[in-house]
């Protein structure tokens, strides 16, 4: 009853922001992302009848019961996995990320996609990718997309039980290998407002949220089409527009949520200027200060060179479309 899995973080081109059902983790709107080839979570889980309590160790740090990471995230997820599998056993989970946790780099997406894949293997649940994406969703919404590689859409669904709410691949990584995202780390500190709390507050208090929901389906359609046709300008410009709209709902929430720092703003201006000069790059930003620059392979080197000139940027990593979540024989304990 032990298995290990690796899953990669994804970066949304059309964002998920807001739940319509917190219990079953159903989104207000559909979303589209690219699964990365680099940032990953590697997780080992073992269900063990001799354990009295679950053990959770992430990046060498233990998160016992009573801590938010356990109670609100992994503990709830394990309850769902136990119900689904019919096996009421405690688990030891050890997970490692190769990127900063909780700083707007979708660490929870990679983490829960890896955990769902490992739990499925350890408990012999026999879930296919659709089932896995639905299980991963119960840990963190965006994790539902990290089950698949390449370009992925998380379908909003209509049913209140979540039975039509899962992720499916739009195109595999080989479809558009020239697509790049340059992640510019402007701070490695954990963010003050987790996305879960941020989206719930936005839904309740932002007057802009209605406009977000009214326009997101159009963005989904455009980005889906742009990916299939490999129309870079269409995908990049729509992703940037969608990101700004999401941040507009955050900024207008009471109290206002500002995830950006000075480095974030500096890069936004720079990217706009580069575009005016003919260097085609767009940005997207999640619930954190990091800027992900969307570009094509041919321009990536020049953009990295320019980004490195900014003193505020702590680290730059170039990613491209990456693989599905998968089991591995490499156990962490
Ligand atoms: O699944 P969560 O709770 O990590 O929320 C993710 C929210 C965004 O990253 C801002 C958008 C997205 O679709 O990934």
The best mutation among 12, 116, 291 to test binding of ligand 1, ranked by most ligand atoms within 8 Å of the C-beta, falls on: 12
Q: What's the pLDDT at 101?
A: 56
Strand partners, 316: 184
195 CB under 6 A from ligand 1?
yes
pLDDT reported for residue 223: 98
Give yes or no for residue 108 CB within 6 A of ligand 1. yes
Atom of ligand 1 nearest to the CA of 11: 14
Provide the pLDDT for residue 53.
Answer: 94
Distance 122 CA to ligand 1 centre (A): 27
- Please, are residues 312 and 266 in contact by the beta-carbon 8 Å criterion? yes
Do 147 and 272 meet the contact criterion of CB atoms below 8 Å apart? no
Q: Is the CB of 16 under 6 A from ligand 1?
A: yes
Cβ–Cβ under 8 Å, residues 142 and 280: no
Does any ligand 1 atom lie closer than 6 A to the CB of residue 31? yes
| Mutation test residue for ligand 1: of 9, 13, 16, 181, the one with most atoms within 8 Å of CB | 16
Task: Please report the pLDDT score of residue 70 as a whole number.
Answer: 83
Concatenating the DSSP letter of every residue in 15-46 gives ----EEETTTTEESS-EEEEEEEEEEEEEEEE
- pLDDT score at 188: 80
Residues 6+ apart with CB under 8 A from 284: 11, 12, 13, 181, 239, 240, 242, 243, 291, 292, 294
Q: Which domains does the chain have, with CATH numbers?
A: 2-174 (3.30.230.10), 179-319 (3.30.70.890)
Tell me if 123 sits within 8 A of 1, measured CB to CB.
yes
Q: Is the CB of 169 under 6 A from ligand 1?
A: no
For 135-167, what is the HEC assignment? HHHCCCHHHHHHHCCCEEEECCCCCCCCCCCCE
- Give the Å distance between the CA of 62 and the centre of ligand 1: 24
Q: How far is the CA of 241 from the centre of ligand 1 (A)?
A: 17
Q: How far is the CA of 11 from the centre of ligand 1 (A)?
A: 9
- Average pLDDT for runs of 10 along the chain of length 333: 97 98 96 96 97 94 87 91 95 89 68 98 97 97 98 98 97 98 89 89 97 98 98 98 98 96 97 98 95 98 97 93 98 98
In short, whether 140's Cβ falls inside 6 Å of ligand 1 is yes
């Amino acid at each position: 009853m032990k298995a290990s899995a690796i899953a990669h973080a994804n970066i949304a081109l059309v964002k998920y922001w807001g739940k319509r059902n917190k219990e079953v983790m159903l989104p207000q709107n559909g979303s589209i992302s690219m699964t990365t080839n680099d940032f990953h979570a590697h997780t080992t889980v073992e269900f063990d009848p001799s354990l009295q309590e679950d053990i959770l160790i992430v990046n060498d740090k233990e998160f016992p019961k009573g801590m938010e990471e356990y109670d609100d995230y992994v503990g709830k997820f394990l309850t769902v996995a136990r119900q689904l599998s019919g096996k009421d056993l405690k688990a030891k989970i050890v997970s490692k990320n190769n990127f900063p946790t909780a700083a707007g780099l979708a660490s929870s997406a990679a983490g829960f996609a890896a955990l769902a894949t490992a739990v499925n293997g350890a408990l012999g649940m026999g879930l296919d990718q659709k089932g896995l994406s639905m299980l991963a969703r119960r840990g963190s919404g965006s994790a539902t997309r990290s089950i698949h590689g390449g370009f992925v859409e998380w379908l909003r669904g209509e049913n209140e039980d979540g039975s039509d709410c899962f992720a499916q691949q739009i195109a595999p990584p080989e479809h558009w290998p020239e697509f790049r995202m340059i992640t510019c780390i402007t701070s490695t500190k954990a963010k003050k407002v987790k996305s879960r709390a941020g989206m719930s507050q936005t839904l309740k208090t932002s007057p802009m949220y209605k406009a977000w929901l009214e326009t997101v389906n159009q963005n989904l359609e455009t980005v889906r089409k742009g990916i299939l046709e490999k129309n870079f300008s269409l995908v990049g410009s729509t992703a940037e527009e969608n990101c700004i709209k999401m941040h507009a709902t955050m900024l207008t929430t009471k109290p206002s949520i500002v995830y950006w720092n000075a480095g974030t703003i500096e890069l936004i201006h720079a990217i706009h200027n580069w575009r005016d000069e003919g260097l085609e790059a767009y940005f997207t930003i999640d619930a954190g200060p990091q800027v992900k620059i969307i570009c094509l392979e041919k321009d990536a080197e020049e953009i990295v060179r320019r980004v490195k000139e900014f003193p505020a940027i702590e680290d730059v990593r170039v990613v491209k479309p990456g693989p599905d979540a998968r089991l591995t024989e490499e156990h962490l304990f």
